[in-house]
Structure 1
Amino acid sequence: MRNFYMFHKKSYRLIFVVMLLFLFIAGCAKENQVINKKNEPSGQDTSTIDRKNSTEEEVLEILNSTRENIEIKLTERKDIYAITWSYDGQQVAFVRGDTESWYGQMYIWTVGEKKPVSIGEKENRICEFIWAPNSKYVFVDTGTSCERWGFIVSIEDFKIIDGITYVGMPRWSYDSKLIALGTISDIQPVTPTELSGTVDLTIYNVETREKRIIAKATSDFWYTPRQWDKNGILTYEKIYFLNHEEKEQLTYHYNSK
């Protein structure tokens, strides 16, 4: 009788242990479900996110893409900045991205086309677009310091044809073949500046992609282009490092023929 009692007592203990183990496993499974639900996006799944992104892309599409309609579509967007039309009014360059940090993807939209074309394979900190007078090229100003990085886009195939490091504001020649800009020299300025060297005045040929220095700077002064008129006269300035108020205005005559 005693053996029978001990057998049943051990059986009850075994059943009790099994039940506790079952409750523990069930509790862990339920806790994991709660954690997984917390990690999921609230009220939306992956397919919803994908549909949302595709919807944002579709917003940049117009069936009747006149200049007026494109202008309206771009200005109503809060994620687009630097909207800049070409001189002939047939293309507009703009950036879609973060309008506060000036960072995003460049696009060019041609009048008559339903969608814009993205330029380049990655986003960039784009500050300004400078169109060539013939509207066949656009110079893209990027960077965060005095030493800038710019690249040139051909409208013929919407490709980046070249890039260049420069200082100051680039100036197109009237025939759109040349760009005047300041380029960094190996010569150090007489006083410490943000620049890694003094600045020469350089002419960049868009067709041949060659650079030619037309005014060599020294440690005392640097050059910057100001204006290039339709007669081929480039006006530029010599600026002294120790006294920025001391400037000399000079000219360079370019014959396009």
Structure 2
Amino acid sequence: MRKQKALCVILFGMLVFSGCESNQKIVEVQPTPQIAQTPLPSQLEKQPSLVSTATPTESSKASTQPVKSQVDTQASPTPIDMTNQRTLSQYSLDKIEGVLKDDKNVFDVIESPNKKAVAYMVSKTGTDYDPMTLYIWNVGGSRPRAATGEALPTVGDVFWSPNSDYVFVDVGTYVTRSGSLYSAKTLEVVQTFGYLEHVYFSPNGKYIVYSDGMYDSPIQTIKSEYVDPPEPFDLVLYNMETHQNTVLFKGTKTQDYIAIGWLNDNTISYRLTTYSAENKNLRDQVVKYTYDLSNQLTKVDPTQKSPTTDDQYSHIRLSIYNEKDVFGDVWSPDGQSVAYAKGNKKEGHGSVWMWKVGEDKPAQVFEERMFNQIVWSNNSRYFMFNDGMSSEEDIYFVDTQTGKMESVHCFCIQRKSNVSLPYFSADSHYLLFSGVEKIQSMYKMTETGNSHNVSLLNLDTKEIKVLFHPDDKLDYVPLGWSGERKLVYQKINFQTNEEEIAEYELNE
């Protein structure tokens, strides 16, 4: 059974939607304090106590009919209990981010996947080179909260767990790094880590996989005479419930186990690098594997046709670097392919290319036209891109295994400096997007006047289902995924200028 839960707030005021304004009459509410009177987040004292938020009420069932099917009943999220309407109206997600944008001491502003909170770092000196403190501001809360403990130096990255229960703060300036895992509820450090390059949350937020090595390891590796870091690297699994680490595979004199990420809740993707020395030259061979948590079995990833080497990888990187007209290049999560644009970066147009490690030359996948950005799926099989900055446009996605390219016409929200593309699910089986329906009315003063739904494309079958249909007053817009099976979307009422954010859980 599919479940949906209303999460967030009804926002009153002028709706700014993809750069288009609604001119409908605003619903009157009691006067609220002005945001401008609120101290900037970096000026607030640390608040160890939690900010209370409204509790979602019981959810209702949603419609999941195919695009061409007639839907009898309209799915509708159940609004949350508005026990403190004034505070919730003032501190919406957009307004919190607006306050943070004006604070010069704030860095790395990241929304939680469920859109209930914003995490960010604060520097007392106004530079991200100095130590910084983690803050979390809950939607509906009048004040942010600060993490306990000392400020962290050289912060590199900040990201949420998929279930929005934790925030990870990455620290370091080298490939071997350290990081702290914070509870979003208490803002206390749950665990500290040392790792190579990155750590990866499982889609359900129950595990972290990473590669770890001991700098003072007694093992004298073959690579130590040629490259840094010299230590062997293990593949390690951290259990979020028990807070225990388990070494899945241990590095040796000739082998490193490097985490790539997750293919689903139970399947880890990693690569095994084997080193050898010939004529005083270091040789390496890279093979991609998967590891199944349920049966503890490992096997060669079927998408890898043959082992690759660092020399092949370096050849591609160097070739792209030396091409002056290449821009927007993004490597796949497994590091085996790169997609990029080739053309005029300043004017934002070019053709789209893909180059796989082990192949002699790249392949063109799309002719030259306007270009914006590239996004890969977690399993590295698909990547998508758009060809402009319009609110309604075609989004193209490429299957790197078959070489086929297809497209969907969708509505894309303008968020910050980029158009927000559709969202790959964590298991790479679905593409979540906002479909366009030609329902126009006097209430919708948008760029095209069209209406928008929440749609789901099955990447295996290419079937599209509309989860929430619009009408002459309502629009539905997806905001992303919260875990492997749960999506987050926004319901917009143009007649009353009301919005709310809700979750919907797949059961397929």
Asked if TM exceeds 0.5, the reply is yes
TM-score, normalised via structure 2 length: 0.35
Q: 1:165 corresponds to which residue? A: 409
The structure with the greater share of residues assigned to helix is 1
Q: 2:455 corresponds to which residue? A: 202
Structure 1 residue 155 corresponds to structure 2 residue 400: yes
For 1:67 and 1:130, locate their aligned partners in 2 and report how far apart those are by CA, in whole Å.
Answer: 20
Q: 1:181 corresponds to which residue? A: 433
Q: Is the 8 A contact 1:105 1:124 kept in 2?
A: yes
Q: 2:65 corresponds to which residue? A: none
For 1:199 and 1:141, locate their aligned partners in 2 and report how far apart those are by CA, in whole Å.
Answer: 18
AA aligned opposite 1:90:
Q
SS where residue 373 of structure 2 aligns?
strand
Q: Percent identity between the aligned chains?
A: 27
Q: 2:465 corresponds to which residue? A: 212
- Deviation sequence 1:103-138 (CA, Å, 0-9, x none): 221111112222111114x32222111211111111
Q: Is the 8 A contact 1:65 1:113 kept in 2?
A: no
Q: 2:491 corresponds to which residue? A: 238
Across the aligned residues of Structure 1 and Structure 2, the Cα RMSD in angstroms comes to 2.3
Shift of 1:143: 2.7
AA aligned opposite 2:422:
P
For 1:65 and 1:255, locate their aligned partners in 2 and report how far apart those are by CA, in whole Å.
Answer: 44
TM-score, normalised via structure 1 length: 0.67
Q: 2:334 corresponds to which residue? A: 88
Structure 2, unmatched stretches of 5+, are 1-308, 413-420
Shift of 1:243: 7.4
Higher RCO (CA-CA < 8 Å; seq separation 6+): 2
SS where residue 67 of structure 1 aligns?
helix
Q: 1:104 corresponds to which residue? A: 350
Q: Is the 8 A contact 1:186 1:198 kept in 2?
A: yes
Q: 2:45 corresponds to which residue? A: none
Shift of 1:158: 2.2
Q: Is the 8 A contact 1:174 1:229 kept in 2?
A: no
- Deviation sequence 1:186-239 (CA, Å, 0-9, x none): 211413221241111111112222211101122333222222144311111123
Q: Is the 8 A contact 2:453 2:470 kept in 1?
A: yes
For 1:84 and 1:241, locate their aligned partners in 2 and report how far apart those are by CA, in whole Å.
Answer: 37
Shift of 1:68: 3.9
Relative to structure 1, the CA distance from residue 243 to residue 66 in structure 2 (aligned partners, 3 Å threshold; closer, same or farther) is: farther
Shift of 1:102: 1.9
Aligned positions, number: 191
Shift of 1:185: 1.2
For 1:137 and 1:151, locate their aligned partners in 2 and report how far apart those are by CA, in whole Å.
Answer: 10
> Equivalent of 1:136, from 362, 381, 394?
381
Shift of 1:242: 6.3
Q: 2:369 corresponds to which residue? A: 124
For 1:90 and 1:243, locate their aligned partners in 2 and report how far apart those are by CA, in whole Å.
Answer: 49
Shift of 1:70: 2.4
Q: Is the 8 A contact 1:65 1:111 kept in 2?
A: no
Shift of 1:178: 1.0
Shift of 1:87: 1.3
For 1:237 and 1:131, locate their aligned partners in 2 and report how far apart those are by CA, in whole Å.
Answer: 24
Q: 1:19 corresponds to which residue? A: none
Q: 1:15 corresponds to which residue? A: none
AA aligned opposite 1:253:
E
For 2:460 and 2:491, locate their aligned partners in 1 and report how far apart those are by CA, in whole Å.
Answer: 28
Q: Is the 8 A contact 2:432 2:480 kept in 1?
A: no
85-94 or 212-221, which deviates more: 212-221
SS where residue 127 of structure 1 aligns?
coil
SS where residue 472 of structure 2 aligns?
coil
Shift of 1:96: 0.6
Relative to structure 1, the CA distance from residue 223 to residue 164 in structure 2 (aligned partners, 3 Å threshold; closer, same or farther) is: same
Q: 1:26 corresponds to which residue? A: none
For 2:495 and 2:387, locate their aligned partners in 1 and report how far apart those are by CA, in whole Å.
Answer: 28
Q: Is the 8 A contact 1:178 1:203 kept in 2?
A: yes
- Deviation sequence 1:15-58 (CA, Å, 0-9, x none): xxxxxxxxxxxxxxxxxxxxxxxxxxxxxxxxxxxxxxxxxxxx
For 2:321 and 2:493, locate their aligned partners in 1 and report how far apart those are by CA, in whole Å.
Answer: 42
Shift of 1:179: 0.7
> Equivalent of 1:71, from 305, 317, 327?
317
Shift of 1:177: 1.4
For 1:102 and 1:210, locate their aligned partners in 2 and report how far apart those are by CA, in whole Å.
Answer: 32
For 2:368 and 2:496, locate their aligned partners in 1 and report how far apart those are by CA, in whole Å.
Answer: 38
